[in-house]
Structure 1
Amino acid sequence: MRTVIFDLDGTLADTSADLIAAANHCFIEMGVGPQLDAVGDAETAFHGARAMLRLGLSRMGDVDEAVIDKWYPALLDAYDDNISVHTSLYPGAIEAVESLKSDGFAVGICTNKPSGLAEKLLNNLKIRDIFGSMIGADTLPVRKPDPRPFFAAVDGVGGNRAQSLLVGDTNTDRETSRNAGVPSVLVAFGPAGDTVATLKPEAIIEHFDELLGVSRRLLAD
């Protein structure tokens, strides 16, 4: 079965504002006040909790990895408490998924978000049941760009690894697809915009209504 696996943050949903808020909670607790901007730093949010802490600390002076390790759990707790306050699905995301399924594609998710948080968010957004698999950062001992989580997502929906692709928004997704030997489709409607072209994916989409046609072309028999 042809299979399309989706990244979550920055691909299916714009989670940046809630992620930035969780990071700023940590900086406030440190006594230094918010260090990140919900709009200007949105792209960093999609690179994970540690990336946000690292960026904020860099604006205060030297970055101490021990400080990042200390505050990482607190950031996740703060995010867990307010995981879907500002988060929204990108326009056309669910329609694209349903169109793929109607056309005979299997669909799943492979994210570097901890699995518990990913499951909670998907359930809050009321979309968990439309995906046949969900592999998070801690489902396996490895995470993207290692290809094994991607393969686990494909296998979880009974898909064909040789007839699969990954839809994402960052270099991590591009490298995952390259390591897996499958096509990547990167979205240009996230914070990175058209700069995703520098990652040289097999395809770029400006809107989710393009995804079905692109998937048919890339996974043609």
Structure 2
Amino acid sequence: MGIQDASGLKALLFDLDGTLVDSVPDIAAATNQLLDSEGHAPLEVDEVRRMIGHGIPKLVERAMAARGRVLDAEALAPLVARMMAFYGDNLTGRTALLPGAREALEEGARAGLGLAVVTNKPEGFSRTIVAHFGLDDLVPVVVGGDTCATRKPAPEMLLHAAAKLGATPATAVMVGDSGADVDSARAAGMKVVVVRGGYGGVAAEDLGADIVIDTLADLFDALKRLAETADARA
């Protein structure tokens, strides 16, 4: 019996940064390029890692705050545009797939599940990264931070992705690494799996997910456990 038959699952929605790929080196390089252009000292890679998860505008805001600058919307906008240009010039130079990522997507496709990337990174950047790793044939739906009117932790992006895959909140599971992923899944009425080692600086066990896994290699065992738990409660 397949995972669909056992659980009614129709779709898996994956976060990108910290879940499918480690993009911190490229994001940190662009962040420090921006800081340098403003006359500020660079941040350590681990400092930038903890700032990721709520989109590029929030990252720029946090990076500038770390250097003592609090920005209003008018001052933030041109810095976000410059950050987008710096990062857009080098999206994949040092970005790498995380362990088990390709295999999890391939297993999901073999199981007949609809697959989507749902990330606060801009959609165009996200599609470039997905294509760079040859995942675009596996992932037909990419929802970025500029696809919908709101970003995670609001539920709109997840609901949009699920609908495009013919799924409902009850038949979709979010897979991520951060509080934004968990909060958006809860708001959308979806189950959520968290992968350890992601971004944001909060321990995976403290994020409130339905289940926590070490790597994406453990994903389908986790989904089976979720299905068994649901059956036991029925």
TM-score, normalization: structure 2? 0.86
2:131 paired with 1:131? no
Q: Please report how far the alpha carbon of residue 193 of structure 1 lies from its aligned counterpart in structure 2 after TM superposition.
A: 7.3
Task: Tell me which residue corresponds to 2:46.
Answer: 39
Aligned length: 220
Partner residue of 2:17 out of 9, 34, 41: 9
What letter is aligned with 2:52?
A
Q: Please report how far the alpha carbon of residue 191 of structure 1 lies from its aligned counterpart in structure 2 after TM superposition.
A: 4.2
What letter is aligned with 1:195?
A
Runs of 4+ in 1 over 3 A off after TM superposition: 191-194
What letter is aligned with 2:128?
K
Distance in 2 (alpha carbons) for counterparts of 1:219 and 1:134: 26
Contact kept? 1:16, 1:46, Cα under 8 Å? no
Deviations 1:39-76 (A, max 9, x none): 34312133432333233323332412343322001001
Counterparts in 2 of 1:41 and 1:141: CA distance versus 1, 3 Å: closer
Partner residue of 1:50 out of 29, 53, 57: 57
Counterparts in 2 of 1:55 and 1:101: CA distance versus 1, 3 Å: same
Contact kept? 2:53, 2:200, Cα under 8 Å? no
Partner residue of 2:122 out of 114, 118, 124: 114
Task: Tell me which residue corresponds to 2:4.
Answer: none
Aligned 1:169-184 pairs, distance under 5 A = 169-184=177-192
2:159 paired with 1:151? yes
Distance in 1 (alpha carbons) for counterparts of 2:163 and 2:55: 25
2:34 paired with 1:26? yes
Distance in 2 (alpha carbons) for counterparts of 1:161 and 1:172: 17
Contact kept? 1:163, 1:219, Cα under 8 Å? no
Partner residue of 1:212 out of 220, 223, 227: 220
Counterparts in 2 of 1:51 and 1:142: CA distance versus 1, 3 Å: closer
Counterparts in 2 of 1:205 and 1:27: CA distance versus 1, 3 Å: same
Question: Which 5+ residue runs of structure 2 have no aligned equivalent?
Answer: 1-8
Partner residue of 1:163 out of 149, 165, 171: 171
Deviations 1:90-113 (A, max 9, x none): 011010111122223221111111
Task: Tell me which residue corresponds to 1:78.
Answer: 86
Counterparts in 2 of 1:143 and 1:56: CA distance versus 1, 3 Å: closer
Counterparts in 2 of 1:152 and 1:161: CA distance versus 1, 3 Å: same
Distance in 2 (alpha carbons) for counterparts of 1:96 and 1:86: 22
Distance in 2 (alpha carbons) for counterparts of 1:8 and 1:204: 17
3-state SS of 1:9 partner: coil
3-state SS of 1:129 partner: coil
**47-56 vs 108-117, which moves further:** 47-56
Distance in 1 (alpha carbons) for counterparts of 2:202 and 2:218: 15
Contact kept? 2:169, 2:189, Cα under 8 Å? no
Deviations 1:129-170 (A, max 9, x none): 211211111112222222221111112222243111100111
3-state SS of 2:51 partner: helix
2:62 paired with 1:61? no
Contact kept? 1:26, 1:71, Cα under 8 Å? yes
What letter is aligned with 2:204?
V
Distance in 2 (alpha carbons) for counterparts of 1:143 and 1:214: 26
